Amino acid sequence: MTENPLKRMTDKPADARRDDRPADGVPRGPGAESPPVAEPTTPRPPLPPRPDQTAPETVSPTGRPTEAEPTARAQAGPYLTTAQGNRLYDTDHSLKAGDRGPVLLQDHHLREKITHFDHERIPERVVHARGAAAHGVFQGYGTAASVTRAAFLQRDVETPVFVRFSTVLGSRGSADTVRDTRGFATKFYTSEGTFDLVGNNIPVFFIQDAVKFPDVIHAGKPHPDREIPQAQSAHDTFWDFVTLHTEATHHTLWNMSDRGIPRSFRMMEGFGVHTFRLVTAEGVTTLVKFHWKPRLGVHSLVWEEAQLIGGMDPDFHRRDLADAIEAGAYPQWELGIQTFPDTPEQTFEGIDLLDPTKIVPEELAPVQPIGLLTLNANPTNFFAETEQVAFHPGHLVPGIDVTDDPLLAGRLFSYLDTQISRLGGPNFAQIPVNRPHAPVNDMLRDGMHQTAVHTGVAPYRPNSLDGGCPFLAGADTHAYVETPVPVPEARKVRGAPESFADHFGQPRLFWLSMSPVEREHIVAAYTFELGKCYEQAVKERALRVLANIDPELCEQVAAGLGLPAPEATAPLFAADASPALSQVGRTWPLDGRVIGVVTDGTSDLDGVRTVCEALHTAGMVPLVIAPTGGKLDPEGEPITVQRTFATARSVEYDAVLLAGAPEPAADAYGARDAKAGEPGTDGAVDPRVLLMLNEAFRHGKVIGGWAGAQRALQSAGIPVDAPGVVTADTGSSALDRITRLLPEHRVWKRFRSRV
Ligand code: HDD
C-alpha cells in the first residue's frame, strides 16, 4: 500500500489502528505462545446512536429493548469459526479421502466458505457506482431557524453524518479522475429521523423530467454492443443524445468546464440542484436551493493531468480523501441556502424555480451559510458502509419539504425502488449505516433480510391487542406533516411549461462568466470529446448547439474539428456574467497542498530538512523524491525518500521544489547508472526529472529551486523568469516565494490565453 503522505501532518502514531496486533500480524488465541489478542480487527459501528436513541431491531412495537449488538454477531472471540460459531482447526485443506484422494461432499466448511464467497458481490449502483465516503458531523449555525423548524439546523445542534462522493457513469472499478459529474450525497442522522441531501457538484441537471433519466443514462453509459468506452462521455451515443435534446446543454457545458475534473473531493462545491421548501413551526414557507461551499476552495485538475492520473493512480480522489482524514486534515464545507419567496408562480427574477436546468446566480440571491460539515472518520469497512449506504431524496425531516419539480418527483420513486434490487429486499434500513439514529417503531414486517425480532401481535392500526401502540404523533411532537400548498387547477397533460423551453440562455451566462483560461479549457474539452466521435452528423449537430451559446466557442471548436462553424439558429441571449461561477481569481488556504521536493546525491540535505519541516508546520505535505528509494543521509539525521524518479510523476503534487546543492555541482540531477546509482558519463540531467519539470510547467504548477537548481530548469527549457518559476539562494527563501504563489492554486498566467 502506498504510504499516506499526509500522515505527518499530525502527531498521530503511524498506523495506530494496528498497534495492538502481534508483530507478525497473525492473531493468536489463548494457549498459543504469543499473548492473546481479543479481536483480529477493531470493528467500529457507524457513529453510534446517542444514548437516548436505539437501532430498529432493538425496538419492539411495545418498546422492549433486546441486547443485540451488531458487531458481536460477526467478529467476537479469538477463534476462527463457521458462520454458526463452530470453532475451526483448519481452513486451508478440503476434507479428502486421503492426501491424494477425492474431496468429500460432506465438507460443510468448504461448501459454506465457497458459497458465501460466490455471493459476496451485490449489483453495483446503476449510476454513481464508483464512490468513496466518510463519517463526520454537521453543526447548525441557527441562521436557518427563521425559515425552518428542522431540529438539526438549529443553533449548535450537532448531527452525525455520512457522506458519499461518486462519479456517475463509470463502473465500480473505474478511474476517479474521469470527466464526469460528481455525486455529493449526505445522510444526516437527525433526532427527528434521517435527512438525505442527494446532490451533485454541478448545480443543474441534464433533463427536466425524470421520465427521461433512463434515456440520458443509456446514452452516457458504454455502447451496448462492445461495452466501451468506460466512464466517459467522449462517445457518439452521449453526444447524439445531448445534442438532440438541448435541455442537456447547460449541464453538458459544466461537464466540459473544469468542474468536470475536480482536483479533490475536498475541493468541490455541492448542490441540492432542485428547489426545496423550508417550513417553520408556524407553517410559513420559503423556497430554497442548497449549496455546499468547500473551505479549501473549488479547484480542478487540468485535462492532461486527469488523464495521466487515471492510469497512474486510478484511486486518486479516494486516496486523497482517506489520507486527509487519517492525517487529521479534516475537510470542511459550509452548508448554505439561497432563499426565494414562496409565490404561486415559483419563479425568481424570471427564473423558473421548478426547472432543474437553471441556476439562480449568487449575485441575485446570495448563499447564506447555515451550518458546517466536518468529515472526521474514514469508514471501517468499505462494503458495509460505502457500498451499502442507501440514499433517498424522500428521506425528509419536519421543516424540509419538496416542490413540484418533475425531476424530483421521479427521484422520489426511483431511490427506494433501486435499493430493493441492489440491497436485496425492503429491509435495507436495518443495515447499520442506514439505521436512523432516531427511535424507529414502524409496522413494516418480515421480508428478505429481516433482522429485527419484532414482538407484539398487532402490527396494524387501530389495535387494542398491543395496547393501541404505537401512537401517532402530531406537529408539536415532531410528526412529519406535509405542507398544505395549493395545487393549481389543471388538466392532465404530458407536457412542460413554456418557461422550460429556453435551453441556451443560462449556458451563455456560464460561458460569459468564465475567465479566458477557463474558456480555453472548455474549448479543448469539447474538441477532445467531439473528436472522439465517429459520426459526422453528431459533430455537426453539436456545433449547431454551440453556435446558439456563443459564436467564438463554436468557431474555436469547429476549427479544432476541421469543420465549418455554423450560424446561430436563434438570437443570442443578452446574459450578464456571474463572477461567482468562475474558479479563477481568488485565493484559498494551503492546507493539504502537496509539494514535491526533488533531491539527488548532490543535494543540500540541511536545506531539504528545513523545507520539509516548514511545509509540515504550514499544514502542507512534502513528498521527498530521490533517484532511488531508502533514506537520504542514513548516517546523520535520515530523510525518508517517499518517491523515486521511477515512481514519481508531477501529477501527484501541486508544486515542485528542486533542492539545491551546498557546492555548485556540475552533475546535479544527472542521469545515474541504474545499477550503481553513480552519475552517468554524459552529465545530462536525468530525463525523468526533465519530464517532471516539463509536465509541472505545462500544468501551470509553481516550480521553485535553490542554489544550482537552474541547471535542471535550463535543461528542461524552462526560463527561470517565466511566471510562477522562482529560484533563490536557500531552501527557506525558495519555499517562502513559492508559498506566496500557491493560494491561487495554479499559475494561471502560464496558460496560453492568460487571465
Ligand atoms: Fe440520482 C444515485 C444524484 C437524478 C436515480 N443520484 C444517485 C447518487 C447521487 C445522485 C449523488 C449516488 C448516491 C450514493 O452515493 O449512493 N441524481 C442525483 C442528482 C440528480 C439525480 C443530483 C438530479 C438533480 N437520479 C436522478 C433521477 C433518477 C435518479 C432523475 C431517476 C429517475 N440516482 C438514481 C438511482 C440511484 C441514484 C438509480 C442509483 C443508486 C441509488 O440511486 O441508490 O436511484
Q: What is the pTM of this model?
A: 0.91
CATH of the domain at 175: 2.40.180.10
- For residue 735, the surrounding DSSP H or E stretch is helix 731-741
Ligand 1 atom, smallest distance to 164 CA: 15
Q: Which of 581, 610, 643 is the last residue of a domain?
A: 581
Residues whose CB falls within 8 Å of the CB of residue 435, separated by 6 or more in sequence, listed in order: 49, 55, 56, 429
Contact 645, 627 (CB under 8 A): yes
Q: Which of 581, 611, 634 is the last residue of a domain?
A: 581
Tell me, what amino acid is at 97? A
Q: Which of 408, 431, 454 is the last residue of a domain?
A: 431
Contact 501, 349 (CB under 8 A): no
Ligand 1 close to Cβ of residue 470 (< 6 A): no
Any idea which residues carry the catalytic annotation? 128, 200
The answer on 732 and 610 residing in a single domain is yes
283 within domain boundaries: yes
CATH of the domain at 534: 1.20.1370.20
pLDDT at 54 over 70: no
Q: How far apart are CA 725 and CA 722, in angstroms?
A: 6
Q: How far apart are CA 222 and CA 370, in angstroms?
A: 40
CATH of the domain at 659: 3.40.50.880
Ligand 1 close to Cβ of residue 357 (< 6 A): no
The answer on 525 and 411 residing in a single domain is no
Instruction: Sort residue 585 into left (φ over 0), alpha (ψ -120 to 50) or beta.
Output: left
The full length of the chain comes to 755
Ligand 1 close to Cβ of residue 212 (< 6 A): no
The answer on 633 and 567 residing in a single domain is no
Ligand 1 close to Cβ of residue 358 (< 6 A): no
The answer on 339 and 395 residing in a single domain is yes
The answer on 637 and 722 residing in a single domain is yes
The answer on 323 and 261 residing in a single domain is yes
Q: How far is the CA of 387 from the centre of ligand 1 (A)?
A: 14
The answer on 307 and 181 residing in a single domain is yes
Q: For the stretch 61-70, what's the b/e string if a residue is b when 16 or more beta carbons lie within 10 angstroms of its beta carbon?
A: beeeeeeeeb
- Residue with the smallest CA separation from ligand 1 atom 15 is 164
Output the pLDDT for position 59: 38
Output the pLDDT for position 27: 40
Ligand 1 close to Cβ of residue 260 (< 6 A): no
Output the pLDDT for position 34: 40
Ligand 1 atom, smallest distance to 126 CA: 39
Q: How far is the CA of 388 from the centre of ligand 1 (A)?
A: 15
Ligand 1 close to Cβ of residue 177 (< 6 A): no
Contact 331, 296 (CB under 8 A): yes
Per-residue pLDDT tens over the stretch 9-43: 544 433 333 333 344 434 444 444 444 444 444 44
Ligand 1 close to Cβ of residue 411 (< 6 A): yes
374 within domain boundaries: yes
Q: How far is the CA of 661 from the centre of ligand 1 (A)?
A: 55
320 within domain boundaries: yes
Residues whose CB falls within 8 Å of the CB of residue 521, separated by 6 or more in sequence, listed in order: 257, 258, 302, 303
Tell me, what amino acid is at 34? S
Contact 650, 701 (CB under 8 A): yes
Strands 332-341 vs 351-352: parallel, antiparallel or unpaired: unpaired
424 within domain boundaries: yes
Contact 50, 437 (CB under 8 A): yes
The answer on 523 and 398 residing in a single domain is no
Q: Say which range, 409-418, 518-527, 676-685, has the weakest mean pLDDT.
A: 676-685
Ligand 1 close to Cβ of residue 418 (< 6 A): yes
Set of cell numbers at residue 627? 533517484
Q: Say which range, 5-19, 54-68, 703-717, has the weakest mean pLDDT.
A: 54-68
Q: How would DSSP label each residue in 454-519?
A: --SS--SSS-STTTTPSPPP-GGGT------PPPPP----S---GGG---SHHHHHHHHHS-HHHH
456 within domain boundaries: no
285 within domain boundaries: yes
516 within domain boundaries: yes
Contact 715, 690 (CB under 8 A): yes
The answer on 536 and 626 residing in a single domain is no
Peptide bond into 462 cis (omega under 30): yes
DSSP 104: P
Domain limits for position 565: 506-581
Can you tell me which residue has the cell 424555480?
353
The answer on 415 and 305 residing in a single domain is yes
Contact 533, 239 (CB under 8 A): yes
Q: How many domains does the chain have?
A: 3
What percent of the chain lies above the pLDDT cut of 70?
A: 88
Output the pLDDT for position 732: 95
Q: How far is the CA of 415 from the centre of ligand 1 (A)?
A: 7
Contact 558, 579 (CB under 8 A): no
Ligand 1 atom, smallest distance to 273 CA: 24
Q: Which one, of 228, 223, 234, 229, lies nearest residue 256 by Cα?
A: 234
Q: How far is the CA of 274 from the centre of ligand 1 (A)?
A: 13
Q: Say which range, 253-262, 621-630, 662-671, has the weakest mean pLDDT.
A: 662-671
State which of 198, 206, 271 you would mutate to test the pocket of ligand 1, scoring each by most atoms of that ligand within 8 A of its C-beta. 198
Q: How far apart are CA 713 and CA 598, in angstroms?
A: 12
Q: How far is the CA of 361 from the centre of ligand 1 (A)?
A: 24
